[in-house]
Amino acid sequence: MTGEARTVSTMSWEKETREIEARRQLAQQQGGDDGIARQHAKGRLTIRERIDALVDPHSFDEIGRGAGAPEHGPNGELTGFTPANFVLGFARIDGRRVVVGGEDFTIKGGSPSPAGLRKSVYTEDLALQYKLPLVRLHEGAGGSVGGSGGPSLPAPVFAPSRFRSVAQTLKQVPVASAALGAVAGLPAARLVASHFSVMSESTAQILVAGPKVVERAMGEKRSKEELGGAAVHTRNGTVDNGAPDEPATLEQIRQFLSFMPDNVHHLAPVRACDDPADRAEDMLLDIVPRERRRAYDMRRVIHAVVDQNSFFEIGRGYGRSQITGLARLNGQPVGVWGNDCRQLAGSMTADGAQKAQRFIDLCETFHIPIVALVDEPGFMIGSKAEQEATIRHGARTVLAAASSTVPWASVMVRRSFGVAQAAHYGPEAYILAWPSAESGPLPVEGGVAVAFHREIAAAADPEARRRELEEQLAQRQSPFPRAEALAVHELIDPRETRPMLCRWIDRVQPLLPNLLPPQSG
């Protein structure tokens, strides 16, 4: 028996399995103690630490642990193993499965090794195959001029575009990405090819090209932070959000995904809600000042109406006259869009229009109903606005709303003017009006200036006459005729907004499955 056992032992695969284990151990060491120490010294986490911080404990199920480059001694024995510098796998976030991946900056500065590039490109394929949300945690640059040491032949002419799967994910699954260190070239493009992107304000920069390239080409001397720090990119729409540090950045990814379905074939998850659907906040009665020029805080309205603490704002730093985000109504995820009259009177600017269009697209892709809190004075005017092609971007937003298929509820909080107001009402929108609602082709002030300019000019005191006319016309803007003509579904006490919206969401929920696309083979 013992002889037999010994025979089995020498015939077994122990040597190889020991090497598999050795390689796995070495792969866990990433770029080695020095590489990790350098990363920590810059105040940044390693990719494995990032994944651990993001996902549910012990849920990371790695793919391609053996990908990398072994080093051998003179007798062929394994002396080292450099793992592919992209870590990839499945994991769970709040119990829900996702695909997660990111560059390992401790090896070659995240610039792709051959196996690293292969894993990196596979990320989107995995998300598409398993129809799972995708999270990319970016830090690193694109290729290097010296090449990545890969095969010497260039890719064949018939090779599929590397960006094809990136484009497909955006139509199929939620994609959330984070910039956690310097992100340039290809990783920068993948960062923004997402439904939600967030950067760590203390550790990340996003660059098409870094300082050396910029100085060489343009003679412009700028630091990484000056070129592509958070002060630049949270204000121009490159990323949706900023967060103070890496943990807060990852927390935003978790929050975003909590509103998202697994893929376009499912509906967004409804949560149990302990906030009463009939909660009526008294502050809504007087939040909109009777003085028509007086601003108020639309975010207070949003917080009073949606489920408590459920509002997750997206894009606060740019297009600031528009407020967009995700929230819940009686547990059902909804998109929320309001005007911020403290910013350029809440008007539709070129960047505000682009932000709103992106928001409408997000809700459309994932079948999320939209609640619009309308206080729209119209497109932004003036020479700067004309130079920014406001009408072009604004019209696109209006058309995005007009083509929308998700349920809309639009609450006329105050102003609703011009062509721009049309962007705030999707087809067959459920329309509620507060007593403070005003609407028409253009606000009283502009209308008076145009229609009565001769009368004003001829008056003894033109300024006084102007104000008199404005006041007279504003008085005529009673809220009741709209209700009398069924031009709105309901004229309401502002305190009824949440109860009415919760009843609306209850009515439209059964319609949402009709929005799901047919499953293809």
Q: Which token pair is 269?
A: 């998850």
Closer to another protein by Cβ: residue 77 or 291: 291
Closer to another protein by Cβ: residue 281 or 445: 445
Handedness of CA 46, 48, 54, 56 (dihedral sign): negative
Q: Residue 457 and residue 491: Cα distance in Å, rounded?
A: 38
Closer to another protein by Cβ: residue 172 or 347: 347
Contact of 126 with 88, CB cutoff 8 Å: yes
- The tally of CA atoms less than 13 A away on the side-chain side of residue 112 is 17
Enumerate binding residues for another protein (CB under 8 A): 291, 293-295, 320, 341-345, 347, 445
Contact of 203 with 248, CB cutoff 8 Å: no
Residue 474 Cβ, how far from another protein at the closest point, in Å?
14
Q: Is 242 helix (H, G, I), strand (E, B) or coil?
A: strand
Residue 215 Cβ, how far from another protein at the closest point, in Å?
28
Q: Residue 485 and residue 468: Cα distance in Å, rounded?
A: 28
Q: Residue 117 and residue 141: Cα distance in Å, rounded?
A: 12
Q: Is 149 helix (H, G, I), strand (E, B) or coil?
A: coil
Residue 235 Cβ, how far from another protein at the closest point, in Å?
10
Residue 168 Cβ, how far from another protein at the closest point, in Å?
39
Handedness of CA 376, 382, 388, 393 (dihedral sign): positive
Give CA 65 to chain center in angstroms: 30
Residue 291 Cβ, how far from another protein at the closest point, in Å?
7
Contact of 303 with 327, CB cutoff 8 Å: no
Residue 347 Cβ, how far from another protein at the closest point, in Å?
7
Q: Is 192 helix (H, G, I), strand (E, B) or coil?
A: helix
Residue 305 Cβ, how far from another protein at the closest point, in Å?
20
Q: Which token pair is 272?
A: 């149990």
Residue 342 Cβ, how far from another protein at the closest point, in Å?
5
What is the phi-psi region of residue 222: left when phi exceeds 0, alpha when psi lies from -120 to 50, beta otherwise? beta
Residue 153 Cβ, how far from another protein at the closest point, in Å?
53
Q: Residue 406 and residue 256: Cα distance in Å, rounded?
A: 19
- β-sheet bridge partners, residue 197: 177
Residue by residue, DSSP assigns 243-259 as: ESSHHHHHHHHHHHHHT
Closer to another protein by Cβ: residue 296 or 337: 296
Closer to another protein by Cβ: residue 31 or 229: 229
Closer to another protein by Cβ: residue 431 or 469: 469
Closer to another protein by Cβ: residue 295 or 399: 295
Contact of 264 with 477, CB cutoff 8 Å: no
Give me the amino acid identity at 270: V
